[in-house]
Amino acid sequence: MEIKDLRIFQSVAEAGSISKGAKALNFVQSHVTARIKALETELDTQLFLRHSRGATLTSEGMKLEGYARQILGLIDDMEKDFKDIDSPTGSLNIGTVETIVKLPDILSMFQRTYPGTTLALTSDVTANITDQILDRHLDGAFVANFEPNPKVNRIEILRETLTLVSSSPEISLDDLKNQPMLVFKKGCSYRENLERWLMDEGVMHAKIMEFGTLETIIGSIRSGLGISLVPKSTVQPLIQSGEVHAHDIPEAYSDISTDFIWNKDAYLTRTMDKFIQTVQAFKIQQTN
């Protein structure tokens, strides 16, 4: 069965006449009649009752008309999705680390521009998200301090400063040795920088407490439970209000990038291409 035969069938069904259906399609009547007969032969059933006023669907014809409407509708949607370059309607699976402060701005910018698209977000640490990009389980991802990989494309969106945050205005070496370090699970870039800095400060066996969300870490810092290393932008309002206190550490450990990554070998859909363009446009906005 050919798609064009379903379109001919649908045109005749809507027009209620073979001659009118042929005219709507700009076909000669004999061609339309032949294609309808071929369709009836293939399905081994009569689809129309012919009469002086035109053609009326039989019960079997009504059944086929329902299928034809669904099939042709899907085909029309598919063709529109692939032809309408400026208005993609696909979906994307996007990964992100917990601390991308600008993420809502990027996502809202994309959704405003392309309202027909759908985004699904997955939150994890940089190492795990990178693995999912390599395995093609994610279309793209926002990560921190991405280490170059020949199989992954990268856009550095911005650079941030990590700061040590505590409930106390002063931190001593004893505090670093005795107070818990509140961190995400292994694979988190912030945790890796914190552990490197602690080792260089001579703190070899720091107390570690793992958390799943930034909100819980910050709440625990405010309650005096421990210390953490987070992007300064994520806690700036709390620093200004005096609810937490920031402590600078050397640039070698505090300077970190926020990156968008995707698999080099993955097929770039129009939706993904537009998302990458949105990320690039956002980056330009940040630098201007």
**Which residues, 6+ apart, have CB-to-CB distance to 64 below 8 Å?**
9, 43, 47
Mean pLDDT over residues 60-66, rounded?
A: 92
| Residue 1 pLDDT > 80 | no
Q: Give the domain CATH number at 176.
A: 3.40.190.10
Same domain, 29 and 69: yes
Of 83, 103, 123, the one marking the end of a domain is 83
Same domain, 49 and 96: no
- The alpha carbon of 175 is separated from its chain's Cα centroid by a whole number of angstroms, namely 41
Spatial separation of the C-alpha atoms in residues 243 and 237, rounded to whole Å: 9
Confidence (pTM)? 0.68
Mean pLDDT over residues 120-132, rounded?
A: 95
Same domain, 152 and 275: yes
Q: Which domain holds residue 10?
A: 3-83
CB 254 within 8 A of CB 234: no
* pLDDT at residue 52 in the model: 86
Q: Give the domain CATH number at 75.
A: 1.10.10.10
Same domain, 51 and 102: no
Same domain, 135 and 275: yes
For strand 140-144 and strand 118-123, is the pairing parallel, antiparallel, or unpaired? unpaired
- Read off the pLDDT band of 81 (50, 70, 90): low
- CA 172, 183, 224: angle at the middle one, nearest 5? 50
- Read off the pLDDT band of 169 (50, 70, 90): very high
* pLDDT at residue 82 in the model: 65
Q: How many domains does the chain have?
A: 3
Same domain, 240 and 107: no
